[in-house]
Each structure stands twice: as C-alpha cells, then as structure tokens.
Structure 1
C-alpha cells in the first residue's frame, strides 16, 4: 500500500531550478516539486476581506498577483467553496508519444526520466485542493485511452485507494511504467463514471481530466457533458502538450451546447459546467507556473458551486 504523506508547504526556489526524478523522490515527505517561485506565507493581496469579482471569474486575469497556493485556496473559499471532492483522470492515448514535440522537447508526455507535464499538473492541483478536501479520505483516480480499454472504459490508477494527491503521483508513476498507449480519445467513459460517483455519494465533485488532445468523437462527448450538468459536478480539462486545442477552446467558450448539437434535439446544459485550460499557454511565461495553472483551472469553480448549491439538491 502506498504510504500517505501529508503535504507540507515548500520553500521558495528560483524559477530556473528544475528537479530530477531522484531529487523529486527524495523530497517526497514534503510533497515534491517546485516549478516556480512561491512564498512561504500567504500574500496580503488576497486577504479575508477581498472577494474575486464576477469579471475576474469569467476572464483570465494576471495570475501573478497570487504568490502562494494559500492565496488561491483563500480566493476560492471566499466564494463559498469550503470542501472539495475530487475525481482525477489521466489520458494514455498513443498521441502522447508525439504531442510533446513543440512543448516538451520532443519527448513523450509520459516520459518518466524527467518531471513530465502530467506530474506537474498533479502537483499543482494537489497542492491547491488537497488541504480543502476536509474529511473525505479517498480521491478517485483513473486512466483512460490505453491499448486495453481504448475509448470504451476506464481503469483505476491504483488497486489501493488514493487518500492524497501524493498517492496519485506515486500510483501514476507505477502504472505508467507498464502502460501500452492506445486510443482513440473519448471523455465519455470518464464522464459516465464521474456521474455515477456523484449519484452514489450525493456530494459535489470536481472532475479533473488531463489530456494531450481533443476528443475524436465530438457528439458523444458533448452529450455526456450536457448530461453531467444535471449533477453536482464541475468538469475541468487541462490540455498538456501541443494540442490541437481549438475544439476544447470552443467548448469552453460556448454559452450552452444547444446550438452546437441542435440537430440531435439535445437539451441545454443546466449550467456552464466545463472549463478548459491550455497548460503550456498558462504556465509558459508565468512567474509562478504551478500557481497560475491552479488558478486558471479552478477559477470557475465558485460560480459553478454557487449554482449547484442553489439549484441542484445535493449535499455540497
């Protein structure tokens, strides 16, 4: 069983510093890597008396005003989100082998000889959300798109329950060593499982999908996203690698999906439940890459949470 390690606040490092895998593992007790400078104390930019405006939540403002993960957590909590339940899904389609040609030095996005984008995303989201999970002891973590399940099913990253994002990081490394990439790419099995979990638990969840490209079956994925809007579920897709991302960006920008799939007679979403984040674009020039990513990924959560709390009967 993977030993649960409590996250601890990390010291400030220079932006140019990078960790090798050996260094990463040696720092496991403090929960891993730093890809940009961060403060050991929360910035006074985001005090308890400050709230994020609606305009901020709907647009990408300069994330460098936030200097620590505490800042991001504080901003989210101020909007009413006190605890989070998380579902995490990792893309193992074969395009991961080539879609890092521009943004990851030509290496596979799952290359374990370096700290890869999937590990960086797990870290950044984990350092933000893990302290907000309250008494929830388990994070549901899955893989999809490998040569075995293809676009039909998902599989657990670990046979043992993941009780922290550190557990997910360890499970990811262990599982990835033996994975045979496959495809095609479909979010449908992940979305169906997320809906099942929300229905079973009756609790609000954030679904984080980390993927290297857009889906190959557009209609079925749109239909699943629309169905998901009947439940207490926020969907965040974080795109790693070169993309293309046009379809994901289009989905993120749509006020609703009704016009997109009107010919199929599908209903409107009950609320805007989908957020897309281009990992490379967000982190490439940020002074605090991890913090910039976390803020971009979670900035729509307060509005979604507010709608769910007011309109969907669920124990949020």
Structure 2
C-alpha cells in the first residue's frame, strides 16, 4: 500500500511540474525560448504517460509478455512492455528454448572497433584498451566469444551445412554458404565508421567455428585502425539482410563499449529489426555509462516486440564467483530468447510447423539442448 501511495504521489507531483509553464513575454527571443520549453514539457508528459501505463500493465500481468491485441491478433503498440527476467540459471533458459520449439538457430556476431575502446577499459580492464590482447588473459571480446562457444555449441545449426552438401545446384550451393558457419562483422573502424560493416574473414565468408572466430578477431585487431563514431545501425541492418536471405530465427550478439554520439540511427534500426525473427543482444564492455542502452532494452514502444537485451559485462563479473561467471553471463545474455522466439511465431515471422519439420529432417534422434 505504501508503494502505491508513493507512486501516485510521485505521479501527481510530476504532472504538476511538467504542466507548469512560464508567463508569456513579448520579446521574440524569449517567446521562442518559451515555445521550445513548452514543446519539451509536452514530450515529458507523453513519456510520463507511457511509463505509468507500462507500470500498471506490468503489475496486472507479471508474465509481461502479452503484445497482441486480443481483438485482431496483431501487435498493439499501447500494449508494449519489456519481457521479465524470469529464469534463475542457463539450464532453465535452455529448457525454455526447447519448450518454445527453438531447437536450433543461427548466430551473427558484431564487434565494436570504435576508438573509444582505447580508453573505455581504464577502470574495468586494468587501464588497457578493450582490444588489448595478452598471452596471460583474454580481453572482454575474447572472453565473451568463449562464453558463446561453450553455451551455444549445441544449439547452433552446424549440421545444416552437411545437409546442403549433397546438392549440386549452383543456387543451392549459394544458400549453403549463407546458412553455414558464424557470420562475424566489425563496425566503427576508421574505414567503415558509422556507415557500414566489414567481415572479419578476408574472403567475406562466415567463420566455420568459434576457433576460427577467435583467430579472425586476433588478426583484425592488428590490421584495423579504430575509428567511429559508434552506431549499431550498420550491423543490425546487416543482420536483417541475413535473416531475409535465410528465413530463420537469428540471434545477433553485439559486443561494444556503448559510447554514442547520435543514437537516432541505432534506435531506428532496432525498431526496423522488430519486424523480423531477430533477437539482438548487446554485451556492454568497458566503463560505461550504460543509461542509453538500458533505455533501448526497456523502452522503444514503437517496436513490434521486445527484441533487445542489454548485458553489462563488468558488473556481472564483479558480482559473480569466477567459477560460475560464464554460465551467469550466458544466463543474462539469453534470458529473453525463449519469450522472443515465442512472440515471433505468434507474429507470423516464423512458421512453427516449418521449423519443427526442418529440425526433424536434419537429425531425428539429435537432442541439442
């Protein structure tokens, strides 16, 4: 009861604050300032309304995964709210993936090569660049790739490559190249900047396994000059292209330091991606701040579904026993994937029957989780 009174009182106070306007002034310069102030207040009022509505709906429905309008079975932006982190272990997440029908999926990896990596590790990476490679310990990028290797080795569609090798048609061969391996892209270097991406493989093909991912990453850190500014839009749009070509559920993992100059293109890209069977996970490495990425995670109600998960790498390592750090990190990374997979099926992005039959065709006796 105390919490409700506090929320109601805070809402009333803030409403009175944002609706307060200054007295009119006939000076053109001051009049322009007043108009700008009123516009800002209007935006704050709309945001407060959205926050309050989301809070009430979250309390009413703790499962927090109802995005569909019951009358027309289509996404309703007024019902948007982020998924609740409801799992306690990575094993729980794996079981939920299986229950949702997600037996196998595709992975896309994005690596941040912006110049802010040079100073973003002053606190969390012992003063070193986040891309600094040592013989004694993995840098954050290498460590996260290792975590992906250990936790996703059974769920990635590595067997699908062998299934396609029996086809001799040129068209089928091109599909095989797209669907096999792990596409790994860099962004934000001095050449691509915030405009496009580059493949970590010199021939542009996906890496065939995580060992090759690590090798390509080490080579790229010595060959690429860090640049910027930071934008996730190029890597997200690249991922959308791959999803369109393969018509499969994909997980895009972006490892980045999160320093934005202009977040607008990234916001638009995240919204665009919500129209595809694509889960976006950003692992923030470095010192932060992370407020903007947390906003991407919890808000952006223009999205068709909650397709974005943010994980603060250093905070998890700090609060976790080193022996259990990897599964805990994986838990936070893939916490929302089961719910995301279910919702993309409800939205019609993926046919559940088609996905199930394809897995059965690949290997009827294989249990991947």
Q: Distance in 2 between matches of 1:241 and 1:60?
A: 26
Q: Distance in 1 between matches of 2:273 and 2:237?
A: 8
Q: Is the aligned partner of 1:141 residue 2:164? A: no
* 1:58-73 map, 5 Å: 58-59=84-85, 66=89, 73=94
Q: Is the CA contact 1:72–1:128 (under 8 Å) kept in the aligned structure 2? A: no
Q: Is the CA contact 1:130–1:164 (under 8 Å) kept in the aligned structure 2? A: no
Q: Is the aligned partner of 1:304 residue 2:304? A: no
Quote the residue 2:212 is aligned against: 167
Q: Distance in 1 between matches of 2:110 and 2:230?
A: 13
2:115 paired residue among 94, 113, 123: 94
Quote the residue 1:186 is aligned against: 231
Task: Give the C-alpha shift of residue 227 in structure 1.
Answer: 0.8
1:135-176 residue CA offsets vs partner (Å, 9 max, x unmatched):
243111100001111111100011353122222111111111
Q: Distance in 2 between matches of 1:103 and 1:213?
A: 14
Following TM superposition, where does structure 1 have runs of at least 4 consecutive aligned residues deviating by more than 2 angstroms? Answer: 53-57, 69-80, 134-137, 312-316
Task: Give the C-alpha shift of residue 186 in structure 1.
Answer: 0.4
Q: Is the aligned partner of 1:154 residue 2:175? A: no
Quote the residue 1:284 is aligned against: 318
Q: Is the CA contact 2:93–2:338 (under 8 Å) kept in the aligned structure 1? A: no
Task: Give the C-alpha shift of residue 218 in structure 1.
Answer: 1.3
Q: Distance in 2 between matches of 1:202 and 1:235?
A: 16
> How many residue pairs get matched?
248
Q: Is the CA contact 1:235–1:274 (under 8 Å) kept in the aligned structure 2? A: yes
Please state whether the residue corresponding to 2:223 is helix, strand or coil: coil
Q: TM-score, normalised by structure 1?
A: 0.73
Q: Is the aligned partner of 1:295 residue 2:318? A: no
1:11-68 residue CA offsets vs partner (Å, 9 max, x unmatched):
xxxxxxxxxxxxxxxxxxxxxxxxxxxxxxxxxxxxxxxxxx958971376x5xx4xx
Query: Which residues of structure 2 form unaligned runs of 5+?
Result: 1-61, 66-82, 161-179, 356-369
Question: Which has more radius of gyration?
Answer: 2
Q: Distance in 1 between matches of 2:92 and 2:145?
A: 18
Please state whether the residue corresponding to 1:111 is helix, strand or coil: coil
Q: Is the aligned partner of 1:108 residue 2:129? A: yes
Please state whether the residue corresponding to 1:275 is helix, strand or coil: strand
Task: Give the C-alpha shift of residue 98 in structure 1.
Answer: 0.5
Q: Is the CA contact 1:84–1:129 (under 8 Å) kept in the aligned structure 2? A: no
Quote the residue 1:132 is aligned against: 155
Q: TM-score, normalised by structure 2?
A: 0.63
Query: Which residues of structure 1 form unaligned runs of 5+?
Result: 1-52, 259-267
Quote the residue 1:224 is aligned against: 269
1:230-260 residue CA offsets vs partner (Å, 9 max, x unmatched):
1110110100010111100111121xx24xx
